């Protein structure tokens, strides 16, 4: 049995890598030497060529990153690296919960070390070359340190509690784990902007003025109670513009990147925020949270059915069955189902985006949102003509031309 599992945990990641490369190939087949007719009026020849160059460089980096990560994973599996990490964890502590925490710490640190060079190249070479990066090396380093701090501060208690449930409650541990993760998800949704974002960025209330009054007027018109409108210093890291909505009830807030104010008119910003308000009014945020909770429960239930199978640990070269080794193998075996769930989630997300755009069309000015989307796509060098198969597999938002067609 464990030989079959060993074969699967080698072939599944390799197959996923090949599928990704084929999708990248399909995407690149959509590019042309001249500006496509569909993009006339959206961008010019020079901007179109620049977008293609940017996409090619990102694809090349993605290829190298994915290939090296796949090679390291397969090498670690074949050479018994996970079993070695398990033995090292057991040599450090005899506590079953600490063993799992140390094991995941080793794996997480190794993964970060492998991927930091790719992240640095993306930030300081590609993003800088195309005029996006404004991040300093110091900020890059402190961001990583802060991310690890958050992972330790939050990850250790949550993961430790889940492991404790596994060893203390037996086959029903997944119900307790599901409850903990659900509470954590709700907490993060409520307090993300208040507790996590300030560690990385400064948020200031949008000052009184024309923009704030226009936003509040639209919110009042659509019956949307809004007090918290903030501006975040996104220019600290990138020139790319964005905006987002977070929280529920009295904790809900709209956050504008300061770069957005440099790219769009006040009316276009209101249109972008009207889209975000549309998500809230259509209950997309609540539905997404409920769907996420349900899918987490499904994953935990399936994991509970196989976690005690010794073949999972044997497949990694270990002789002792453990929660953490079972989770590693299950994570790989679960990835095909995760892909299917991702396809469904992306379909729902794209559908929600169209609904939020329709909210703007019915309650504001669709042509203004269309102008804003064009400006942002060109500014951010987004791929405006992706292959339909790539969209199907990866896009949580519809492509620009599809959105413009619906708006117009």
pLDDT tens per residue, range 143-198: 999 999 888 888 899 999 999 999 888 788 999 999 999 998 888 888 888 888 88
User: Would you say the C-alpha torsion 61, 133, 279, 300 has a positive or negative sign?
Assistant: positive
- The total number of structural domains in the chain stands at 2
Model confidence pLDDT, tens digit, residues 306-347: 888 888 888 888 888 889 999 999 999 999 999 999 999 999
How many Cβ atoms from other residues are within 10 Å of residue 134's Cβ? 16
Q: Is the pLDDT of residue 227 over 80?
A: no
For residues 170 and 261, membership in a common domain is answered with: no
Most confident by average pLDDT, 75-89, 240-254, 278-292: 75-89
For residues 221 and 250, membership in a common domain is answered with: yes
Mean pLDDT, the chain, as a whole number?
Answer: 90
46 half-sphere exposure, CB direction, 13 A CA radius: 1
Catalytic residue list contains 276:
yes
**The predicted structure's pLDDT at residue 182:** 93
For residues 295 and 307, membership in a common domain is answered with: yes
Strand (E) positions, 182-306?
203-205, 229-232, 243-246, 253-257
Whether residue 297 contacts residue 317, with contact meaning beta carbons closer than 8 Å, is answered with no
Measured torsion, CA atoms of residues 148, 197, 395, 24, in degrees rounded to the nearest 10: -40
The CATH number that applies at residue 239 is 3.30.2010.10
For residues 160 and 265, membership in a common domain is answered with: no
Strand-pairing partners, residue 133, are: 238
For residues 166 and 291, membership in a common domain is answered with: yes
Chain centre to alpha carbon of residue 363: 30
For residues 130 and 108, membership in a common domain is answered with: yes
Q: Name which of 267, 241, 244 is nearest 255 in CA terms.
A: 244
Strand (E) positions, 216-259?
229-232, 243-246, 253-257
Alpha-carbon distance 100 to 165, whole Å?
13
Whether residue 177 contacts residue 187, with contact meaning beta carbons closer than 8 Å, is answered with no
Model confidence pLDDT, tens digit, residues 184-226: 888 888 888 888 888 898 988 888 888 888 988 888 888 887 7
358 pLDDT tier (thresholds 50, 70, 90):
very high
Q: Is the pLDDT of residue 31 over 80?
A: yes
Mean pLDDT of 80-90: 93
85's tokens: 């990490």
For residues 129 and 59, membership in a common domain is answered with: yes
For residues 102 and 119, membership in a common domain is answered with: yes
DSSP-derived 3-state class of residue 224: coil
**The predicted structure's pLDDT at residue 317:** 85
Q: Is the pLDDT of residue 14 over 80?
A: yes
pLDDT > 90 fraction of the chain, expressed in percent and rounded: 59
1 pLDDT tier (thresholds 50, 70, 90):
low
Q: Point out the domain boundary residue: 281, 309, 335.
A: 281
**The predicted structure's pLDDT at residue 298:** 93
CA 61-65-70 angle, to 5 degrees, is 150
Containing structural domain, residue 215: 203-281
Find the catalytic residue in 276, 353, 405, 408: 276
Mean pLDDT of 112-140: 94
For residues 63 and 189, membership in a common domain is answered with: yes
**The predicted structure's pLDDT at residue 187:** 86
Q: Is the pLDDT of residue 247 over 80?
A: no
Q: Token pair 């197959």 is at which residue?
A: 15
For residues 213 and 150, membership in a common domain is answered with: no
Q: Is the pLDDT of residue 248 over 80?
A: no
Q: Is the pLDDT of residue 68 over 90?
A: yes
- 33 phi/psi in degrees, rounded to 5: -75, -20
Catalytic residue list contains 59:
no
Find the catalytic residue in 268, 357, 367, 408: 357
Strand order in the sheet with 253-257: 203-205, 229-232, 253-257, 243-246
Q: Point out the domain boundary residue: 281, 307, 326.
A: 281
Q: Is the pLDDT of residue 279 over 80?
A: yes
Q: Point out the domain boundary residue: 219, 249, 281.
A: 281
For residues 25 and 136, membership in a common domain is answered with: yes
Q: Is the pLDDT of residue 288 over 80?
A: yes
DSSP-derived 3-state class of residue 204: strand
For residues 270 and 315, membership in a common domain is answered with: no
Chain centre to alpha carbon of residue 18: 22
Q: Is the pLDDT of residue 43 over 80?
A: yes
**The predicted structure's pLDDT at residue 246:** 77
């Amino acid at each position: 049995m464990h030989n079959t599992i060993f074969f699967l945990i080698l072939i599944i990641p390799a197959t996923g890598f090949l599928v990704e490369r084929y999708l990248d190939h399909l995407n690149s087949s959509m590019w042309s030497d001249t500006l496509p007719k569909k993009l006339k009026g959206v961008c010019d020849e020079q901007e179109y060529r620049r977008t293609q160059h940017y996409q090619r460089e990102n694809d090349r980096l993605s290829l190298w990153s994915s290939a090296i990560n796949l090679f390291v994973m397969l090498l670690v599996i074949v050479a018994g690296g996970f079993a070695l990490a398990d033995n090292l964890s057991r040599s450090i502590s005899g506590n079953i919960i600490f063993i799992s925490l140390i094991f995941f710490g080793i794996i997480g640190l190794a993964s970060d070390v492998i991927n930091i060079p790719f992240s640095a190249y993306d930030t300081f070479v590609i993003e800088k070359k195309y005029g996006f990066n404004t991040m300093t090396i110091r900020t890059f380093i402190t961001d990583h340190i802060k991310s690890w701090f958050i992972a330790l501060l939050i990850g250790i208690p949550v993961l430790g509690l889940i492991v404790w449930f596994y060893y203390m409650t037996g086959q029903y541990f997944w119900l307790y784990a599901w409850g903990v993760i659900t509470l954590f998800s709700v907490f993060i949704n409520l307090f993300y902007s208040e507790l996590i974002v300030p560690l990385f960025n400064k948020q200031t209330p949008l000052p009184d003025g024309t923009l704030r009054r226009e936003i509040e007027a639209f919110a009042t018109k659509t019956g949307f109670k809004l007090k918290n409108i903030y501006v975040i210093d996104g220019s600290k890291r990138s020139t790319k513009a964005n905006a987002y909505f977070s929280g529920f009830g009295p904790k809900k807030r709209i956050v504008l990147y300061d770069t957005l104010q440099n790219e769009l008119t006040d009316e276009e910003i209101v249109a972008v925020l009207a889209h975000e308000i549309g998500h809230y009014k259509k209950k997309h945020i609540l539905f997404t949270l409920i769907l996420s909770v349900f899918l987490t429960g499904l994953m935990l239930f399936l994991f509970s059915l196989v976690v005690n199978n010794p073949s999972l640990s044997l497949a990694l070269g270990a002789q002792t069955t453990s929660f953490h080794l079972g989770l590693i193998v299950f994570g790989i075996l679960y990835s095909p189902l995760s892909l299917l769930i991702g396809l469904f989630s992306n379909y729902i997300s794209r559908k929600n985006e169209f609904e939020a755009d329709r909210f703007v069309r019915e309650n504001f000015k669709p042509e203004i949102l269309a102008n804003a989307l064009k400006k942002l796509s060109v500014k951010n060098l987004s791929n405006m003509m992706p292959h339909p198969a790539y969209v199907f597999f990866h896009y949580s938002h519809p492509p620009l031309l599809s959105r413009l067609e619906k708006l117009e």
